[in-house]
Each structure stands twice: as structure tokens, then as C-alpha cells.
């Protein structure tokens, strides 16, 4: 039986009737057409699907859409604008924090949450903070530098 | 990957949740963090007909010290534990444990109580809770009952919870002064289950000998989490010098029952228990003396 839910995504309230088994990532991508959130491994490993729900960065492939009923979700589309990038987005630009870009939305969402918790993280804290996000291109070095850039920019 | 269809309920109180469980019996599965359950449902390893989501029940996300116990409510997330000042200052062993579970994103959602209720011998909190002498508080239609964690894991993926009971709280005795604990885990890579893990909690008396309160728990080296009772009995009353630590770690290794699998052969894991036990005892001793 479908459930009526109301989810705020990037500041916009959406009312939807969803099957309980619908995963949040599918609500975002297939129903709301917000395809910035990527699906990678589908097994809670890679972090490509990371979004922020009520301030917590989580893997949207491992949460049911019904669990987000009443919650506020931020996806990569809602983090910054093209004219006014979020500091972490700017850091990825300035420090070449991506190659293929597949992991990037998740990396940036996890990076933004990391800076919310630790405003001036060490390289070690950044690496541990991004343990839930896999990148197969960059070797992570530029991603760490991108987050460091964002931390210094935010000061 | 999409789970099979299921019915979904999100009760607003524990009473409602218990009533639902009573009505649905083994058709129901409780969803708390869902970080083990949802992947299992996606892989169709589990296909519960009815999900009872307890996340809407208010007042279950507490970490408090009350009546001699540290109390962890059913909806405390791993990341809450990791960042709790009370836990960081008084129970570094819990910080050791939570910080090696999965990854920060999973820990934002996964619950501590769920880590026990799932009954997986590869989960990390069970060994630590065994070492700490924790008690599980279960609530059901017949009221509440306390289950010592050493009786909570009767078999593989099985807990002492009845089908109509909910794990409401974990309570951990506040340890006396001169107590230290540590959890050590070897994992092949971040986010993996333990190849082996060892939790140690010791209390020293005035003459520096180990009291009877010693606890040693083992992760993922048997069909259930293992309480290393022989090693615990051995350290009781002993000065934990190098020779005693060595002997205790050998006894603990003998109490493990690992099997060959992708994480390594049984002999290797057994030896790993020995190494990790020795190191965990040494770290616990350092923490008795105020080290981190």
C-alpha cells in the first residue's frame, strides 16, 4: 500500500504517494528528477548517493523514502548555485578534486558535513571523515586539498 | 536493487510498536538505523512482510548516566555515541568501538542498540558490551525485562529477544575508579567486518592486581560473540605483567572458534585474537593510569 509523504528537498516541499520499498535515492532521481545524486555500488559502500537529511550526511541508497517523511533533504543541486558555489564545490574546482566526477556529488556532501562538524580539520581527519566515499580516479590527494581549501575559505 | 514489497508502519509510541509486533508475530521486522536490514532486503537475503519503523517514537535517543548505569536508548546513532562528551570522557572503549564500525555516513544512521539486536557475530558492539558486563532492556507485552548481554546471543543471528519484544535500552554499569578498557579490531579495509576484534575491560585494586570485574569479548571468531570466560578467570587477582598478559592472550585465543573464510584461515584468526588481546590489555592498563 502506498504511503503519502511530504519531503522538503532543497527547500521545496514535495508531496508524493510512494511504495514503502522505494529508496530515497530513487525518489530523488526518478520521481523528482534530481539526478545529481548518483547511484554507484547500491550496497552502502561507495557513498556516491550521499545526501544530507536534517543535517546528517547519509547514504540515500540505504534509506527508504518513507523514512524521510517530514524531513529536510539537501542534495548536490541544493548546496550552492552556479553563481555562488558552496566552498567545498569551489575547492573541488580550484584543486581539481575530480576526474570522472562520478563520486563527486557524494564527496562534496560528505565534505560539507565534515566541515560542519570540524571547521579546521587536519588532513588525517579529512581522510577519516571521507571513509564512506570511494573515488577510483584521484587517489584522494586533491580531494583532501579541496576540503582544506574550503575550510580556509570559510574562515 | 530494490527490496520486495512490504507493508510499513511507523508507530508513535513504544506501546503501539509492541502491540503491532504482538499482532504480526514473525512477519514483522523492526527498522531502527536500517544499515544492515535495508542492504539485506535489497539483496533479498531478508524479505520481511511488514516493517515496523521505530524511528518516529520520541524519547529513545538518550545517552545518560542514571542509577549507576550509562544508558543508551534504542535510537542513539553510532555518531551520537562517538561525539558524546560523557562517552568520550568515561568510556573510551565505546569510542574505540563505534569509530571502527562501517564509515561516518553509515554511523550517522546506524544505531548502537541495532548493532546488538541484529545478532551478527561480526558486529563490533557485542564484544565490547560483553567486556563491559552490559544489560539489555527488552520491552514487550509482558512489560520490561533485563537480559545480561552474556545471555543475549544464544546462536548465529539469533538474540534472546522474543518476536514481540523491542530492545529499548542498553545499560552499562558505571565502572569503579582504576578501570580501563579498549577495543581493537583488524579489518582488511575501512568498512569491512572484523577479521577479528577484541574488547578488554579491567579494574585494578589498591595493590595493582586485576579485580573480578575483568571482561574480555571477542568479535567474529565464532558463531556468536564470545565472552572469553577462561581468560577473564585467569586475570582475576593477577598483577598483569608481561608474562601474565602473554598467558591471558593465549587463553583467549584458545576460546575463539574461527572458521576459514575470505578474511583468512582459522589459525591466522586465532593467532590474531592472541595478538589483539595482548595489545588490548596493555592499552586498557594504560587507560587505568589515565592514558588515552
Q: What is the pLDDT of residues A17-37, one digit of tens each?
A: 999 999 999 999 999 999 999
Residues of B in contact with A56 (CB under 8 A): 77, 79, 108-109
Residues 66-85 of A with CB under 8 A from B: 66-67, 69
Q: What is the pLDDT of residues B166-198, one digit of tens each?
A: 999 999 999 999 999 999 999 999 999 999 999
Q: What is the pLDDT of residues A92-151, one digit of tens each?
A: 999 999 999 999 999 999 999 999 999 999 999 999 999 999 999 988 999 999 999 999
Query: Could you tell me where in chain A the CATH 3.10.20.30 domains are found?
Result: 3-77
Query: Could you tell me where in chain A the CATH 1.10.150.120 domains are found?
Result: 87-154
- pLDDT tier for residue A1 given thresholds of 50, 70 and 90: confident
Among candidates A20, A21, A132 on the partner chain, residue whose Cβ is nearest the Cβ of B103: A132
* Per-residue pLDDT at A116: 95
CATH top class, domain B7-52: alpha beta
Residue A154 in this model has a pLDDT that exceeds 90? no
Global model pTM greater than 0.90: yes
Comparing B123 with B289, the larger pLDDT belongs to B123
Question: What angle, rounded to 10 degrees, do the helices at A141-154 and A87-94 form?
Answer: 130
Distance between CA atoms of residues B29 and A30, nearest Å: 27
Counted across chains A and B, CB pairs separated by less than 8 A come out at 88
Q: So where are chain B's domains?
A: 7-52, 63-173, 179-287
- pLDDT tier for residue B254 given thresholds of 50, 70 and 90: very high
Residues of B in contact with A45 (CB under 8 A): 191
- Residue B150 in 3-state DSSP? helix
Place of cell 602473554: B246
In angstroms, the separation between the Cα of residue B109 and the nearest Cα of chain A is 7
B99 contacts B184 by C-beta, under 8 angstroms: no
* Per-residue pLDDT at B133: 98
Pick the CATH number of B63-173 from 3.40.630.30, 3.30.465.10, 3.40.50.300, 2.60.120.10: 3.30.465.10
Does A125 contact B at CB distance below 8 Å?
no
- pLDDT tier for residue B1 given thresholds of 50, 70 and 90: confident
Q: At the topology level of CATH, where does A3-77 sit? A: Ubiquitin-like (UB roll) (3.10.20)
Residue A155 in this model has a pLDDT that exceeds 80? no
A50 contacts A73 by C-beta, under 8 angstroms: no
* Per-residue pLDDT at B226: 98
Phi and psi dihedrals of B178, rounded to 5? 60, 40
Does A124 contact B at CB distance below 8 Å?
no
Residue B110 in this model has a pLDDT that exceeds 90? yes
Distance between CA atoms of residues B280 and A23, nearest Å: 40
HEC-encoded secondary structure of chain A: CCEEEEEEECCEEEEEEECCCCEHHHHHHHHCCCCCCCCCCCCCCCCCCEEEECCEEEEHHHCEHHHHCCCEEECHHHHCCCCCCCHHHHHHHHCCCCCCCCCHHHHHHHHHHHHHHCCCCCHHHHHHHCCCCCCCCCCCHHHHHHHHHHHHHHC
Phi and psi dihedrals of B198, rounded to 5? -135, 130
Residue B160 in this model has a pLDDT that exceeds 90? yes
Range B179-287: architecture per CATH: 2-Layer Sandwich (3.30)
Q: What is the pLDDT of residues A72-81, one digit of tens each?
A: 999 999 999 9
Partner-chain contact A59 B106, CB within 8 Å: yes
Phi and psi dihedrals of B250, rounded to 5? -70, -40
- pLDDT tier for residue B223 given thresholds of 50, 70 and 90: very high
Residue B232 in this model has a pLDDT that exceeds 90? yes
Pick the CATH number of A87-154 from 1.10.150.120, 3.30.460.80, 1.10.490.10, 3.90.640.10: 1.10.150.120
Among candidates A3, A59, A64 on the partner chain, residue whose Cβ is nearest the Cβ of B105: A59
Amino acid at each position: 500500500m502506498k504511503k503519502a509523504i511530504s519531503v522538503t528537498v532543497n527547500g521545496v516541499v514535495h508531496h508524493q504517494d510512494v511504495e514503502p520499498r522505494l529508496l530515497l535515492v530513487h525518489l530523488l532521481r526518478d520521481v523528482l528528477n534530481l539526478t545529481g545524486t548518483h547511484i554507484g555500488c547500491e550496497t552502502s559502500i561507495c557513498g556516491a548517493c550521499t545526501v544530507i537529511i536534517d543535517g546528517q550526511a547519509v547514504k540515500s541508497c540505504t534509506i527508504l523514502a518513507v523514512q524521510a517523511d517530514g524531513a529536510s533533504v539537501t542534495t548536490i543541486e541544493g548546496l550552492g548555485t552556479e553563481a555562488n558555489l558552496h566552498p567545498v564545490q569551489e575547492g573541488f574546482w580550484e584543486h581539481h578534486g575530480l576526474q570522472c566526477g562520478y563520486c563527486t556529488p557524494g564527496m562534496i556532501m560528505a565534505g560539507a558535513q565534515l566541515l560542519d562538524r570540524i571547521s579546521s580539520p587536519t588532513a588525517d581527519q579529512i581522510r577519516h571523515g571521507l571513509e564512506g566515499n570511494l573515488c577510483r580516479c584521484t587517489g584522494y590527494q586533491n580531494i583532501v586539498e579541496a576540503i582544506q581549501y574550503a575550510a580556509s575559505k570559510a574562515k | 536493487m530494490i527490496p520486495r514489497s512490504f507493508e510499513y508502519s511507523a508507530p508513535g509510541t513504544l506501546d503501539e510498536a509492541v502491540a503491532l509486533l504482538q499482532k504480526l508475530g514473525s512477519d514483522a521486522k523492526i527498522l531502527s538505523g536500517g544499515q544492515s536490514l535495508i542492504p539485506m532486503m535489497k539483496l533479498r537475503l531478508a524479505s520481511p512482510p511488514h516493517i515496523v519503523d521505530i524511528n518516529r517514537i520520541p524519547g529513545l535517543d538518550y545517552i545518560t548516566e542514571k542509577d549507576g548505569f550509562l544508558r543508551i536508548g534504542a535510537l542513539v546513532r553510532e555518531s551520537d555515541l562517538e561525539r558524546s562528551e560523557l562517552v568520550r570522557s568515561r568510556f573510551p572503549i565505546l569510542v574505540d568501538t563505534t569509530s571502527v564500525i562501517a564509515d561516518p555516513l553509515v554511523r550517522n544512521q546506524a544505531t548502537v542498540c541495532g548493532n546488538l539486536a541484529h545478532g551478527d557475530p561480526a558486529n563490533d558492539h557485542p564484544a565490547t558490551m560483553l567486556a563491559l558486563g552490559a544489560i539489555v532492556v527488552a520491552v514487550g507485552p509482558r512489560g520490561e525485562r533485563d537480559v545480561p548481554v552474556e545471555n543475549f546471543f544464544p546462536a548465529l543471528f539469533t538474540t534472546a529477544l522474543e518476536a514481540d519484544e523491542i530492545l529499548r535500552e542498553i545499560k552499562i554499569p558505571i565502572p569503579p575508579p582504576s578501570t580501563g578498557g579498549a577495543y581493537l579490531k583488524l579489518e582488511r579495509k575501512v568498512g569491512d567486518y572484523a577479521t577479528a576484534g577484541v574488547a578488554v575491560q579491567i579494574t585494578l585494586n589498591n595493590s595493582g592486581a586485576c579485580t573480578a570485574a575483568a571482561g574480555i569479548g571477542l568479535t567474529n571468531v565464532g558463531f556468536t560473540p564470545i565472552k572469553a570466560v577462561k581468560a577473564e578467570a585467569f586475570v582475576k587477582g593477577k598483577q598483569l605483567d608481561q608474562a601474565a598478559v602473554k598467558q591471558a592472550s593465549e587463553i583467549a585465543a584458545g576460546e575463539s572458534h574461527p572458521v576459514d573464510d575470505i578474511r583468512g584461515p582459522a589459525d591466522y584468526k586465532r593467532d590474531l585474537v592472541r595478538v589483539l588481546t595482548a595489545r588490548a590489555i596493555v592499552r586498557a592498563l594504560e587507560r587505568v593510569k589515565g592514558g588515552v
